[in-house]
Amino acid sequence: MSEYTIHSEQIAPHEELLLALQSHQSSVWRRPIAAHQIEVFEQARAFMVRRDAPIILDSGCGTGMSSQILAEQFSEHTVIGLDKSLLRLSKADKQLPDNVRLFRADVRDFWRLFVEAGLKADWHYLLYPNPYPKKVQFKKRWPAHPVFPVLAHSADRFEVRSNWRVYLDEWEIALHCLRPKSATRITRLDASVLPMTRFEQKYFKAGEACYRLINEVIIE
């Protein structure tokens, strides 16, 4: 336990999660997509097409630290970092590897456009997204969001990290529901591994428990 430990009245996956998933599976989320979001996606798609390589999405990339690490670790992949904050993106390293680009985007719109374009990432990373730990905030969490059915089909493999284990348990349930032919494992991160985000750096330094979920399609 540390100063970053999440305290919530919810100590297990939300009892309405499956109902939310069933509701979102039976209807398509049709919120209008702004023209500038379409333009951002087209810029990203042009980069992906030009490189013609397996894709890694890094959603909520913040300052781009994780995107840079992924680009260096997966040099044969195209890495697309996405974040809604211009301030955070402005703090990114100016000398990024050639196989990565960062875009200011609403990830909900980007995911929809990405899937509608027939694209699928090799990996999709979501590192420390806001877990909205208050029980009344449940519907703001990605597993309970109407865009989740699209998100679940955006990649062959997912990696999600959080310092709230309950949140990853909800991810596991949601992914199993929408991706029945996939396998999920959740492990506690060893604090000796290379931190991938500024949050993770702080958490490791403070002794906070951090967890990693990996979900992969089962090849039969």
Residue ranges covered by each domain of the chain? 17-217
pLDDT at 220: 66
Query: Is the model more confident about 13 or about 119?
Result: 119
Closest CA to 109 of 32, 3, 187: 32
The one-letter amino acid code at 197 reads T
Nearest to 36 by CA among 113, 99, 148: 113
**pLDDT tens digits along 115-130:** 999 999 999 999 999 9
Comparing 4 with 220, the larger pLDDT belongs to 4
**Model confidence over 70-129: pLDDT tens digits?**
999 999 999 999 999 999 999 999 899 999 999 999 999 999 999 999 999 999 999 999
Q: Give pTM, 2 decimals.
A: 0.96
Give CA–CA dist 182/166, Å, rounded: 20
Q: Where are the beta strands (DSSP E) in the chain?
A: 55-59, 78-83, 100-104, 121-127, 155-162, 182-188, 211-217
CB 200 within 8 A of CB 151: no
Q: Is the pLDDT of residue 219 over 90?
A: no
The domain defined by 17-217 folds into Rossmann fold (3.40.50)
* Contacts (Cβ under 8 Å, ≥6 apart) of 144: 14, 16, 17, 20, 21, 138, 170, 174
The secondary structure of the chain in percent helix, strand, coil, rounded to multiples of 5, reads 40, 20, 40
